[in-house]
Chains A and B, each alone.
Chain A
Amino acid sequence: MEIGVEDRGNVLVLKVSGRIDHLNASAFHEALTPHLSHCSADGTPIVLDLSGLDYISSAGLRIFMIVAKQANARGGRIAVAQMQPLVREIFEISHFHLVYEIFASTDDALAAISSTTTTTA
């Protein structure tokens, strides 16, 4: 499991790759945590680019739930994009599509998030 960080101006793109299961779920959580502190109502939205994620187990999905709760509690916005078909099916079977906004591509996610992240005068 690896996480690549890409700052796209007003949105942070985190590229997650590899497998997440009970063996590395807590390491995944630790790796995400420093980025989450900026994900708040007036902070930086996060897009998780999952194009490189090959598999996720319940232990990994649990971290996705914790992360969504942490972001929501601060009024932050977090979305997932570009899932491989297998991971997308696991998400849907687990009902995590009800927890996360899912976008077909990272660009779609950025466009959707940028258009609603309005600047206030």
Chain B
Amino acid sequence: MQIRFWGTRGSLPAPLTAADVRAKLVAALTEVQGRSLETPAAVEAFVAGLPFSIRGTFGGDSSCVELIDGENTNHVLCDMGSGARRYGVEMLRRHGPDNPQTYHVFMSHTHWDHIMGFPMFPPAYLPGNRIIIHGCHAEIAGAFHRQHGAPSFPVEFSQLQAAIEFVVLKPDTTTEIAGYQVTPLLQRHSGDSYGYRFEKNGKCVVYSTDSEHRTEQSEEAERFARFFNNADLVIFDAMYSLAEATSVKEDWGHSSNVIGVELCQMANAKRLCLFHHEPTYSDSQIEDVLHKTRRLEEITRAETPLEIITAYDGLTVTL
């Protein structure tokens, strides 16, 4: 199983500015000092050695994550944030316009940052494509319809040419969909959100974004520890610091890196991926959170280590 991240930013897309790119160039060239970069290979090696926040970017698109599985001809996606545009373009490039495809989409919830990519998702415009949108909210179809048509968008939902279906799933109930055993779980978030646990061929990934945690409530912590149990990868809403999430941003519906580490340690998960990055954070701030989270894991580790990564647009993780 592979996981590809098409959108990783929380709440609103956050593209780089010209000043951000310039700052990266200045930082990179400052690092060159005294080195000889006379061959393309030397340049490549030098760039590869730079911190990710200088040589790359964590990306600006909002939530959209693909599950890839060699045996599967169906496409599986979590959320339709702005990252779905690039994903849809890539699918068309790969399969061509005359080769209908089936897409299964699992929706955490219908806040705008999680549905905004759908009007710009090219496969929705092509007849023959089938898009099945799964979620636990009864009113999920309404949220998709509402962002189409006047005054928000030039195209009415009814003008979309693909066959679009909505399927309401039951939390805490495992269903086989597109070859995966899928279990949704209710999460604490304004208007509710749902996490999804996907299992196939002995591998497991949990997608758990837009979820606030109250770890002082033991049953709540244990409910999530069971949901994350032995997962190979947990994609986790780590938008705020713990101090923010328990003070000014309490009840804003998001969590922290610290709680991600604790729940994954309780669950004996193998890898934690920090996700739904705060839109005001720079690349170096996100990188700093990653380093501190790794340090926290190191100093609180019981036995087996938990690997910590942070999501960026374009990242592929192989389980």
Contact = CB atoms under 8 A, between A and B. Distances in A.
Nearest to A85: B299
A55 to B, nearest CB: 8
Contacts of B216: 22, 25-26, 58-59, 62-63
Interface string A63-104: 101000100000000000000001001101111101100000
Interface in B155-175: none
Nearest to A97: B243
A61 interface: yes
Nearest to B293: A93
Contacts of A63: 216
Nearest to A61: B242
A41 interface: no
A62 B246 contact: yes
B218 A58 contact: no
B247 A69 contact: yes
Interface string B199-237: 000000000000001111110010000000000000000
Nearest to A90: B296
A58 B221 CA distance: 11
Contact of B292 (A23, A58, A69, A93): A93
A23 B256 CA distance: 20
Contacts of A23: 218
Contact of B259 (A58, A65, A90): A58
B102 to A, nearest CB: 41
